[in-house]
Amino acid sequence: MAVSLYSSGDSGCPSIEKRRTLMPDPSMQIPVTCPECAMESLGELSIAVIAGALLTGNSIRLHAVCHDIYWTATFVERERLRQTLRAMKVDAMQPRKKAEPLRRSSIR
């Protein structure tokens, strides 16, 4: 969802120079398991942050709301994120069905 923010001039209409469109990074919800109580909940991370960390080997910080605790994703958690991203790529690359050609009607 894009959010448009603008400043209006004296006339109340936004000028083209002042209009900006902000588009948030695509994100995905991921299951996280709290290391304190083992309760599973959904966390949300930017897809770009996850992909970048997986490619460069940087750490990925996860958050559990139940105890407001942050931790670095383990190897197993990182592999689960990798598999999720891989599945998303497969879904995005599935071929679309070809449209059927239009048939001419015999009614004129």
- pLDDT tens by residue, 77-104: 999 999 999 888 644 555 556 655 666 6
pLDDT of the residue at 100: 59
What is the H or E stretch that residue 55 is in?
Answer: helix 47-56
Of 97 and 47, the one with more pLDDT = 47
Question: Is the entire prediction scored with pTM above 0.85?
Answer: no
pLDDT of the residue at 36: 95
pLDDT of the residue at 19: 53
Q: Buried b / exposed e across 7-30, counting CB within 10 Å, b at 16+?
A: eeeeeeeeeeeeeeeeeeeeeeeb
Nearest to 77 by CA among 14, 35, 105, 27: 35
pLDDT tier at 20, thresholds 50, 70, 90:
low
pLDDT tier at 55, thresholds 50, 70, 90:
very high
pLDDT of the residue at 16: 52
